[in-house]
Amino acid sequence: MQQLSEKAEEVLESLWILTVEGDQVGCLLTDLQLEADAEQLKDLLQRAYVEIRDNRILLRPEGEAEARMAVRRHRLAERLTMDILGIEGEEGNEQACIFEHLLRQGVDTKLCTLLNHPSTCPHGNPIPPGDCCTEARRSGSPGIVPLTELKAGESGGIAYLAASDDKKMQKLMSMGVLPGSDILLMQKFPSYIFKVGHSQFAVDESLARQIHIRR
């Protein structure tokens, strides 16, 4: 079956938030501004994802799984844009709306693992867990963690840098702290001393926290 349109996914997201997470019984058609989107509504009805009753659109059990995943993708995208890319406010929300539609076919699983299986979005709303989250809890795998979470003597691969400004990013990169490189944490106090390649460096906790490690 053809993939849902972006607008149809956004309708399912809204219905999930209003009815599954909230306490509303469906939503007025006018509230979702569906008058100009008859094609998307027709598609959702044909798939039996929604139904219309008394001028209200209701999420059917058949559509809950799709709606749940749409919400999951959106909130993971918010974590990506705001936590990793540092894009906040209205621009962050707009970029998240763009990114969420790219997180299909397992890409959401890769991003979720990259983010260490977050349980909430930046606004504190729950991120519906995926199979990767369940497996991580079952196996006790920590996924990707800040360098500060390692013990002295532990090592791993650098997954990504979450430096909050360009100067910090440039400083880390000048040390050879690059995604894909191996890193060994040698000491945690009074400063973080780590080894990358044949060189050792010392940084404070705030900078060490910007280096995310795949154990």
Contacts by residues 162-170 (CB-CB < 8 Å, ≥ 24 positions apart)? 162/83, 162/84, 162/210, 162/212, 163/207, 163/210, 164/86, 164/210, 168/207, 168/210
Inter-residue contact 212 to 145 (CB < 8 Å): yes
- Specify the pTM: 0.72
Mean pLDDT of the chain: 87
- The CA distance from 155 to 133, in Å, is 23
Given the candidates 3.20.20.70, 1.10.10.10, 3.40.50.10490, 3.30.365.10, the CATH classification of the domain at 71-139 is 1.10.10.10
* DSSP one-letter string for 143-200: -EEEGGGSPTT-EEEEEEE--SSHHHHHHHHHTT--TT-EEEEEE-SSSEEEEETTEE
> What sign does the CA torsion over 209, 211, 214, 215 have?
negative
Residue-range domain boundaries for the chain: 6-65, 71-139, 144-214
Per-residue model confidence as pLDDT tens for the chain (215 residues) = 678 888 889 889 989 998 889 878 777 776 665 544 678 888 899 999 999 988 888 899 999 999 999 999 999 999 888 877 878 888 988 999 999 998 987 899 999 988 888 888 888 899 999 999 988 888 877 677 889 989 999 999 998 887 667 788 889 999 999 988 999 999 999 999 999 999 999 999 999 988 988 87
144-214 CATH, one of 2.60.40.10, 1.10.10.10, 2.30.30.90, 3.30.70.260: 2.30.30.90
